[in-house]
Amino acid sequence: MSKQYCKVGKVKPNLNKILSLQELETKIANFVDDINAIEYLKEIKRNFSL
């Protein structure tokens, strides 16, 4: 196997893209809100189809 395509040990994290704790909390909160909205819509559709 050629070493040309080997990236083990060569991948470095992009420190400019590391999220702050507040940004992470906001993203998680938005994700949870979106999931809850989807579940709510599914429940409404189930109730109206009865």
pTM: 0.48
Domain for residue 41, yes or no? yes
Domain for residue 32, yes or no? yes
Q: What is the pLDDT of residue 4?
A: 65
Domain count, the chain: 1
Q: What is the pLDDT of residue 21?
A: 81
pLDDT tens digits for range 1-42:
566 666 666 667 666 677 688 888 888 899 988 888 888 888
Counted residue by residue, the chain has a size of: 50
- Measure the CA–CA gap between 1 and 39, rounded to whole angstroms: 49
Q: What is the pLDDT of residue 46?
A: 84
Cα 32–Cα 33–Cα 38 angle in degrees, nearest 5? 95
What residues contact 19, with CB distance under 8 A and at least 6 apart?
A: 27
Domain encompassing residue 27: 17-50
Instruction: Assess contact for 5 and 13: CB atoms under 8 A.
Output: no
Q: What is the pLDDT of residue 6?
A: 66
Domain for residue 8, yes or no? no
